[in-house]
Structure 1
Amino acid sequence: MPIESGPTKREPRVQRALRLASGTALCLAASFGLELPIPFIAPVLGLMLLATVNRPLSLKAGLGLALVAMLTTGSGLLLIPVLRYYPVSGVLLIGLGLFLAFHFGLRGGNNLIVTFLVIGLTMISAAGTADFGLATLVIGALVKGLLLAVMVLSFSHWLFPEPTSGQSPPAAPVLPAEEARWVALRATLVVLPAFLLALIDPASYLPIILKAVSLGQQSCTTTARNAGRELLGSTLLGGLLAILFWFALGLFVHLWMFFLWMLLFGLLLARKLYALSPTRQTPGFWLNSLVTMIILLGQSVQDSAAGKDVYTAFAVRMGLFIVVTLYACLMVHLLDQRRRVRQPAR
């Protein structure tokens, strides 16, 4: 039976918090239970859908979104020959593509399409330079993860339906053309170094690209004044939560416990995200913390299953996450200072 009582009808944020936590936990458990390739992608995509869409997607819309994801991420396949034989030109083309993708989102474009475009330009092309099969594997993982996320979105809306009185979240403001160009340039410079790092060893550094994509989108909504707290704070909190989650899961290792712990952590952060427990931090802070936790935790689970040293791999990955985040903060400060210098004095 769908859960729809009197109080939740009056408070849509409660339903949304329950829906986000339960849907993300279900995506995580189903993805690892079905042994999907790159299993942490499905809960990340599910989290993004649940946080931005307050209505279930129809079958036609879900299949259409999966087709769009396949086409946009597949665009990275076209750049593989250029990167292999003309690396400088290839990197410049990818930088231009990132700028246009972020600029499209800042001027009112669909953020999900922007996400898939950025992933296609970076993750897919980087993977393809090492092995074309790895690139197709990543595309397959993205499409399968998105289809799972769409199904979980519909189930979560059935379980915790949106109240009829609930209002859709306001659309992100469309930035003026000049400001959009500056912010898009800033986001591009945040993502590009992680892409260059991934070209060294794509199989090992693909999570770094996914983190950089998240930072690039988060940097579009932050300012130089709160960049350190917003970007670095959420990264450190995500790492701390991943450590706590890992030790909690070690008490009793089972797929259902994986689901239940994810549900608990998701509920705690969803309360902050939807201001049921008000804080000074923005919703983007809590969303990025949850994304960081899922990426780090998912990689640690895969390392454990492969027999790798989990703690060493986590320390290296967390260190890279912090370096990428510090670089993002530096870009925000430098470009904002340059922009203020260029503006005429009033």
Structure 2
Amino acid sequence: MPIKGMSTRRTPRDQRALRLATGTALSLTASFGLGLPIPFMAPVLCLLLLASVNRPLPFKAGLVLALAALLTTGIGLLLIPVLRYYPISGVLLISVGLFLAFRFGLRGGNTLIMTFLVIGLTMISSAGIAEFDLAAMVIGALVKGLLLAVVVVAFSHGLFPDPPNAPSPPAAPPLPAEEVSRIALRATLIVLPAFLLALIDPAGYLPIILKAVGLGQQSSTTNARIAGRELLGSTLLAGLLAILFWSALSLFVHLWMFFLWMLLFGLVMARKLYALSPTRFTPGFWLNTLITLIILLGQSVQDSAAGKDVYTAFAIRMGLFILVTLYACLMVHLLDQRRQNDVQGLT
């Protein structure tokens, strides 16, 4: 029953928070229910789509995006022979490709295309070093996850459409031209060690690459003063939330309980991401927290299904995530310090 004097109309931010939480939970449930390979890929892509686009993708646009994902990630297949027979040249070539991909995104290019390029250069090529079929499986998982994400995004927009004539969120201010190359280099240096680690054990370290890609993108809006709070803080919070989520899910293990708990955690994160419950942290902090939470949970569910020790695997994975994040903070600090020294030298 509505309270007298209180408006019951939802604002655009209310709708977007509900849409993001519901879509993420639905895609997570559908991905695990359908038994898709790398099942956490679909909810991560769905989350990125819902956070970056405030309208449903037309069917043709979804197919074009899937084709673009197939082509961009397929670049990694072409790099497998170079990495296998000329490893030093292959790593240098991938380093240059990462720099160009990040610079493309920082100069206003499509963020999803940039992400697919980075995944193709790192995840696909490292998986192909171990086994070509593993690389093809990762590409297939990405395309299937993307198609599922597009369907869920359309459904979520149907459930929680923006009000008529709702204003679009302001576009992020473009970076100064002189900053683009420096930040692209920083993102490349953040992703590169995770890629080298994945060359040792591609199947075990692919999630680390995905985490590093997220850190590389997040670092583009982070300076040295807030790097620890933004990068390390979001990783630690995601680990804590993953422990709480797993403990709650253990009370009654069922696919629909997985959906309900994800919906609850997603609503809490979405309220903070859209400033319905304002905090001092940026939207990027909450988005990275939710993405990391999904990756950690997805891997834990797969470990459990495979009969592995979930808690030991989680501790190792969380430790690697923290190490990768600390390294990202270090790169942000060193490159920002170098820039400040250069500026002082010029003055």
For the aligned pair, the TM-score class normalised by the smaller chain equals: over 0.9
State the Cα deviation string for residues 210-268 of structure 1 (Å, max 9, x = none): 00000000001111110000000000000111110001000000000000000000000
Report if the CA contact (8 A) 1:8-1:15 is conserved: no
Q: Which runs of 5+ in 2 are unaligned?
A: 1-5
Offset, 1:205? 0.2
Partner of 1:185: 185
Offset, 1:172? 2.4
User: How do residues 2-21 of structure 1 correspond to structure 2 at under 5 angstroms?
Assistant: 11-21=11-21
Partner of 1:28: 28
State the Cα deviation string for residues 88-117 of structure 1 (Å, max 9, x = none): 000001000000001011111111111100
Offset, 1:278? 0.3
State the Cα deviation string for residues 123-180 of structure 1 (Å, max 9, x = none): 0000000000000000000000000000000000000001123222222222222210
Report if the CA contact (8 A) 1:10-1:165 is conserved: no
Report if the CA contact (8 A) 1:123-1:209 is conserved: yes
Q: Is 1:159 the counterpart of 2:149 in the alignment?
A: no
Cα separation, 1, equivalents of 2:150 and 2:205: 27
Offset, 1:280? 0.2
Q: Is 1:291 the counterpart of 2:291 in the alignment?
A: yes
Deviates further, 221-230 or 160-169: 160-169
Change (3 A) 1:97 1:331: same
Q: Is 1:60 the counterpart of 2:72 in the alignment?
A: no
Cα separation, 1, equivalents of 2:317 and 2:122: 18
Cα separation, 2, equivalents of 1:339 and 1:106: 18
User: How do residues 299-318 of structure 1 correspond to structure 2 at under 5 angstroms?
Assistant: 299-318=299-318
Report if the CA contact (8 A) 1:239-1:318 is conserved: yes
Partner of 2:110: 110
Change (3 A) 1:199 1:252: same
Aligned letter for 1:235? T
Change (3 A) 1:21 1:235: same
Partner of 2:327: 327
Offset, 1:8? 7.3
Partner of 1:279: 279
Cα separation, 1, equivalents of 2:8 and 2:338: 47
Partner of 1:218: 218
| Alignment TM-score, normalising by the size of structure 1 | 0.97
Aligned letter for 1:79? L
Report if the CA contact (8 A) 1:107-1:174 is conserved: yes
Cα separation, 2, equivalents of 1:166 and 1:242: 34
Could you say what secondary structure the match of 1:118 adopts? Answer: helix
Cα separation, 2, equivalents of 1:169 and 1:9: 19
Report if the CA contact (8 A) 1:9-1:165 is conserved: no
Offset, 1:9? 5.5
Aligned letter for 1:162? D
Partner of 2:172: 172
Q: Which runs of 5+ in 1 are unaligned?
A: 1-5
Offset, 1:37? 0.3
Q: Is 1:257 the counterpart of 2:257 in the alignment?
A: yes
| Alignment TM-score, normalising by the size of structure 2 | 0.97
Change (3 A) 1:224 1:254: same
Could you say what secondary structure the match of 1:94 adopts? Answer: helix
Aligned letter for 2:275? A
Offset, 1:7? 5.4
Cα separation, 2, equivalents of 1:280 and 1:302: 35
CA RMSD of aligned residues (A): 1.1
Partner of 2:119: 119
Partner of 2:69: 69
Cα separation, 2, equivalents of 1:342 and 1:7: 55
How many residue pairs match? The answer is 341
Report if the CA contact (8 A) 1:234-1:285 is conserved: yes
Cα separation, 2, equivalents of 1:145 and 1:7: 38
Cα separation, 2, equivalents of 1:220 and 1:166: 29
Partner of 1:81: 81
Cα separation, 2, equivalents of 1:8 and 1:111: 35
Could you say what secondary structure the match of 2:251 adopts? Answer: coil
Q: Is 1:342 the counterpart of 2:315 in the alignment?
A: no
Cα separation, 2, equivalents of 1:25 and 1:170: 27
Partner of 1:3: none
Offset, 1:292? 0.5
User: How do residues 194-273 of structure 1 correspond to structure 2 at under 5 angstroms?
Assistant: 194-273=194-273
Partner of 1:139: 139
Identity of aligned residues (%): 80
Cα separation, 1, equivalents of 2:246 and 2:58: 36
Could you say what secondary structure the match of 2:174 adopts? Answer: coil
